[in-house]
């Protein structure tokens, strides 16, 4: 079996995951995705002179490790192995190649990896505290009112989620702590609650490690399960100090794109939870990070709820290790009222043949070959292009 084409099938979509398809001469097709600019990913993959496609045409798609080395070691995209959007493009292809390998063998990816040790994994509802519709209209980022946050949290609980996270930013006035307390009181002590600070914190030049430590100490009052991206993604020294002093778990990793990026965090135990993202780095590297974290006794709770491809890749790998207590999954209200409303749902339910199954707050292990999703539904992608093909605020 040989690769005959590698292409981006979502060029008309200006937002959302970039969808990548790998075709073979035996009619087996692999699907993958990444999170980056569609124009940049298209150029990296499809450029006629030195795109990634030119490296792979005519090669065996089931030789996934060789394909990764061929792409990663090529010096045409920087100095080889520096990460960033080049690895994002490689990661989407890598995901699709694993999908092909499984389909060719008639086995799910987890079987190719030696088999599952978990037959289901809890999902947590990934939400945002921000009023995205207001931001799109005015450019101002502000939190939803308390009653909206509480309502969304209770909605997640009613749907069977046993954990949830708010994208929160570094909004920690006393009224913000009151909001956290209101949510905690509403959902009760048994539902896990997490907060994601993200670039609001680490791109704020006045935000320091001491600020993050102070916030972590306050958040312990509300039994926050983990605090995500409290510092700049590459600040190993800062994360080591924060993790050492924080009474709650510290998590990071979504912006890292290579195993080498993660290694110092793992070696120095500079976090409690590692958060690799298969759309950022591909399934091959994602698996290596999860396994190294397992060996070090560090939890792996991956980043990213944005597509079925991403969640399926996470499930196929993390069911084979013991250090993953839950996987990120979209909350129903995560894009409600924004220009992106309906996009994430479509990326989970419509653009693939076989959606994943969540039952009673747990993701069921797919038994279909490869990722377990089947192939792209191109008509659904075309429909999304009609809805989301223009400029929409991301």
Per-residue pLDDT tens over the stretch 339-365: 899 999 999 999 999 999 999 999 999
Report the Cα 379 to chain-centroid distance in Å: 25
**Residues forming beta bridges with residue 364, ordered by sequence position:** 120
Asked if residue 238 and residue 159 are part of one domain, the reply reads yes
Phi, psi of 153 (to 5 degrees): -60, -45
Res 50 pLDDT > 80: yes
Contact 292, 266 (CB under 8 A): yes
Contact 373, 309 (CB under 8 A): yes
The tokens of 13 are what?
């979509």
pLDDT on residue 157: 98
Query: Looking at residues 276-280, what average pLDDT do you find?
Result: 97
Asked if residue 82 and residue 191 are part of one domain, the reply reads no
**Residues forming beta bridges with residue 274, ordered by sequence position:** 252, 300
393 in a structural domain = no
Phi, psi of 279 (to 5 degrees): -75, -20
What residues have CB less than 8 Å from 33, skipping those under 6 apart? 17, 18, 19, 20, 92, 95, 279, 307, 309, 310
Alpha carbons within 13 A on the beta-carbon side of 196: 20
Last-in-domain residue among 106, 134, 159: 106
189 in a structural domain = yes
Q: Of 330, 347, 338, 357, which is closest to residue 155 (Cα–Cα)?
A: 330
331 in a structural domain = yes
CATH of the domain at 19: 3.30.390.10
pLDDT on residue 392: 39
68 in a structural domain = yes
pLDDT in tens, 282-301: 999 999 999 999 999 999 99
Calculate the alpha carbon distances from 244 to 121, 241, 262, 290 in Å.
28, 5, 18, 21
369 in a structural domain = yes
Q: Of 358, 255, 270, 288, which is closest to residue 113 (Cα–Cα)?
A: 288
101 in a structural domain = yes
Asked if residue 83 and residue 117 are part of one domain, the reply reads no
Asked if residue 131 and residue 224 are part of one domain, the reply reads yes
pLDDT on residue 74: 74
Contact 255, 233 (CB under 8 A): yes
pLDDT on residue 72: 87
Strand order in the sheet with 3-8: 3-8, 18-24, 29-34
Calculate the alpha carbon distances from 328 to 43, 153, 312, 362, 389 in Å.
30, 15, 11, 11, 26
Asked if residue 322 and residue 305 are part of one domain, the reply reads yes
Asked if residue 157 and residue 235 are part of one domain, the reply reads yes
65 in a structural domain = yes
pLDDT on residue 394: 34
CATH of the domain at 185: 3.20.20.120
Sign of the dihedral through C-alpha 359, 363, 367, 368: positive
Phi, psi of 293 (to 5 degrees): -65, -40
Phi, psi of 387 (to 5 degrees): -90, -35
Asked if residue 355 and residue 284 are part of one domain, the reply reads yes
**Residues forming beta bridges with residue 31, ordered by sequence position:** 21
Res 98 pLDDT > 50: yes
Give residue 10's domain range: 3-106
CA–CA dist 394, 77 (Å, integer): 26
Q: How far apart are the first and last CA of the chain?
A: 39
CA–CA dist 11, 37 (Å, integer): 10
Q: What's the number of domains the chain is made of?
A: 2
Which band of pLDDT confidence, cut at 50, 70 and 90, is reported for residue 118?
Answer: very high
Last-in-domain residue among 86, 106, 126: 106
Asked if residue 247 and residue 141 are part of one domain, the reply reads yes
Res 390 pLDDT > 60: no
394 in a structural domain = no
CA–CA dist 135, 122 (Å, integer): 31
For residue 360, count CB atoms less than 10 angstroms from its CB and return exposed for 0-12, middle for 13-18, buried for 19 or more: exposed
Asked if residue 77 and residue 117 are part of one domain, the reply reads no
Phi, psi of 187 (to 5 degrees): -90, -15
Asked if residue 330 and residue 216 are part of one domain, the reply reads yes
pTM score, whole prediction: 0.95
Place of tokens 């990896």: 113
**Residues recorded for the chain:** 394
Asked if residue 296 and residue 316 are part of one domain, the reply reads yes
Report the Cα 319 to chain-centroid distance in Å: 16
Calculate the alpha carbon distances from 25 to 293, 356, 380 in Å.
38, 28, 25
Asked if residue 174 and residue 293 are part of one domain, the reply reads yes
Calculate the alpha carbon distances from 109 to 21, 208, 278, 316 in Å.
17, 42, 14, 6
Buried b (16+ CB within 10 A) or exposed e, 137-149: eeeeeebbebebb
Last-in-domain residue among 64, 91, 106: 106
Res 191 pLDDT > 50: yes
Residue 29 parent element (H or E): strand 29-34
């Amino acid at each position: 079996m040989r690769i005959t084409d590698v292409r981006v099938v979502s060029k008309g979509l200006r937002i959302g995951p970039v969808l990548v398809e790998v075709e073979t001469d035996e009619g087996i097709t692999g699907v993958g995705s990444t999170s980056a600019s569609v124009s940049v990913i298209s150029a990296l993959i499809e450029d006629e002179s030195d795109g990634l496609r030119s490296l792979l045409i005519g090669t065996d798609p089931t030789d996934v490790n060789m394909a990764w080395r061929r792409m990663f070691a090529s010096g045409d995209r920087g100095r080889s192995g520096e990460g960033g959007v080049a690895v994002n493009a490689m990661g989407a292809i890598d995901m699709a190649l694993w999908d092909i390998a499984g389909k060719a063998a008639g086995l799910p990816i987890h079987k190719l990896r030696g088999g599952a040790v978990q037959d289901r994994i809890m999902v947590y509802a990934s939400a945002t505290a921000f009023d995205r519709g207001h931001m799109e209209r005015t450019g101002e980022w502000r939190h939803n009112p308390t009653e909206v946050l509480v309502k969304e949290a209770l909605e997640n609980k009613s749907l069977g989620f046993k954990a949830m996270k708010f994208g929160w930013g570094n909004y920690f006035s006393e009224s913000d702590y009151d909001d956290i307390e209101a949510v905690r009181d509403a959902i009760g002590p048994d539902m896990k609650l997490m907060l994601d600070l993200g670039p609001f914190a680490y791109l704020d030049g006045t935000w320091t490690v001491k600020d993050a430590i102070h916030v972590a100490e306050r958040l312990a009052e509300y039994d926050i399960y983990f605090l995500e991206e409290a510092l700049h993604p590459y600040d190993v020294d800062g994360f080591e100090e924060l993790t050492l002093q924080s009474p709650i778990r510290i998590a990071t990793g979504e912006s890292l794109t290579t195993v080498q990026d993660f290694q110092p965090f793992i070696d120095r135990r500079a976090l409690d939870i590692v958060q690799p993202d298969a759309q950022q780095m591909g399934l091959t590297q994602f698996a290596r990070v999860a396994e190294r974290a397992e060996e070090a006794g560090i939890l792996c709770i991956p980043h990213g709820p944005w597509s079925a491809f991403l969640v399926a890749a996470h499930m196929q790998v993390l069911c084979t290790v013991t250090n993953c207590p839950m996987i990120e999954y979209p909350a129903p209200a995560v894009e409600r009222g924004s220009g992106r409303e309906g996009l994430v749902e479509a990326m989970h339910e419509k653009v693939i043949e076989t959606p994943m199954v969540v039952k009673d707050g747990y993701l069921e292990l797919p038994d279909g070959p490869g990722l377990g999703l089947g192939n792209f539904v191109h008509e659904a992608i075309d429909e999304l292009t009609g809805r989301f093909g223009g400029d929409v605020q991301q």
